[in-house]
C-alpha cells in the first residue's frame, strides 16, 4: 500500500485508509476481500515525519483446538519514521524508518502493515474461548457433542497428530 506524502502534509488529524487482505498479499490469512483499515496520525519533527496508528482487520484462521475456521479480529500497532536524512540516533533495528529520497512523493508501507498484522495474531487461535476441541481418542469435534469415548484419561497421541496437520497446513 502506497501513501502519498502530499496527503500527509498540511492538514492535521488522523488519516484513514482502507485495503483488503489480498491487496496486501495476505489472502492465506482470511477472506481475500476482508477489509484492512489503517489509521495513521502524524507528527512533524523538523523535516521528519513520525507516523503512528493502527491497522485493523478480521482474519480467518484455523482453530488450534478443533481446526474449524475461526474468525479473529486483530489490531496491530504502527509506528514509522519518514526521514528527510539519516538520523544516527534512530536505530533501524529498533524502529521502522524510511529515509526519503529527495523529491520522493510516495512511500510503500505494505511491509509494515503485513508485519504488524502478523504480530497481532495471538499465539493460540481459538474459534471461541470455550472451544472443546477434538476428542483425543477418535478425533470427533466435541463442540458438536460427545462422541461416546471415555475421555477420563487423556491420550495425547491425537493432539500430536493435530499439530502435524497444522504444520502441514502452514499454521
Of 26, 29, 61, 127, the one binding Zn ion (CB under 5 A) is: 127
**By CB under 5 A, is residue 138 in contact with Zn ion?**
yes
Distant-in-sequence, close-in-space partners of 34: CB < 8 Å, separation ≥ 6: 20, 21, 57, 58, 59, 60
Taking the complex as a whole, how short is the minimal distance between the CB of residue 166 and Zn ion, in angstroms?
Answer: 12
Of 63, 107, 114, 162, the one binding Zn ion (CB under 5 A) is: 63
Q: Which residues pair with 61 in a beta bridge?
A: 70
**By CB under 5 A, is residue 24 in contact with Zn ion?**
no
Three-state SS string over 93-120 comes to CCCCEEECCCCCCEEECHHHHHHHHHHC
8 φ, ψ (degrees, to nearest 5):
-85, -20
Taking the complex as a whole, how short is the minimal distance between the CB of residue 27 and Zn ion, in angstroms?
Answer: 22
**By CB under 5 A, is residue 125 in contact with Zn ion?**
no
Q: How far apart are CA 86 and CA 60, in angstroms?
A: 40
**By CB under 5 A, is residue 137 in contact with Zn ion?**
yes
Taking the complex as a whole, how short is the minimal distance between the CB of residue 128 and Zn ion, in angstroms?
Answer: 7
Distant-in-sequence, close-in-space partners of 112: CB < 8 Å, separation ≥ 6: 78, 80, 96
Of 21, 51, 131, 162, the one binding Zn ion (CB under 5 A) is: 131
**By CB under 5 A, is residue 99 in contact with Zn ion?**
no
* Residues at the interface with Zn ion (CB under 5 A): 63, 65-66, 127, 131, 135, 137-138, 140, 147, 149
Amino acid at each position: 500500500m502506497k501513501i502519498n506524502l502530499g496527503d500527509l502534509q498540511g492538514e492535521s488529524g488522523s488519516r484513514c485508509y482502507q485495503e483488503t487482505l489480498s491487496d496486501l498479499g495476505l489472502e492465506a490469512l482470511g477472506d481475500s476481500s476482508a477489509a484492512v483499515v489503517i489509521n495513521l496520525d502524524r507528527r512533524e519533527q523538523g523535516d521528519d515525519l513520525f507516523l503512528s496508528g493502527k491497522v485493523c482487520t478480521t482474519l480467518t484462521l484455523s482453530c488450534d483446538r478443533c481446526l474449524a475456521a475461526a474468525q479473529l479480529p486483530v489490531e496491530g500497532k504502527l509506528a514509522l519514521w519518514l526521514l528527510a536524512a539519516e538520523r544516527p540516533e534512530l536505530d533501524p533495528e529498533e524502529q521502522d524508518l524510511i529515509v526519503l529520497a529527495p523529491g520522493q512523493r510516495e512511500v510503500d508501507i505494505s511491509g509494515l502493515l503485513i508485519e504488524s498484522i502478523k504480530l497481532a495474531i495471538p499465539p493460540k487461535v481459538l474459534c471461541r474461548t470455550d472451544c472443546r476441541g477434538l476428542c483425543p481418542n477418535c478425533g470427533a469435534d466435541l463442540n458438536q457433542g460427545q462422541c461416546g469415548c471415555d475421555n477420563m484419561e487423556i491420550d495425547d497421541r491425537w493432539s500430536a497428530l493435530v499439530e502435524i496437520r497444522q504444520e502441514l497446513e502452514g499454521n
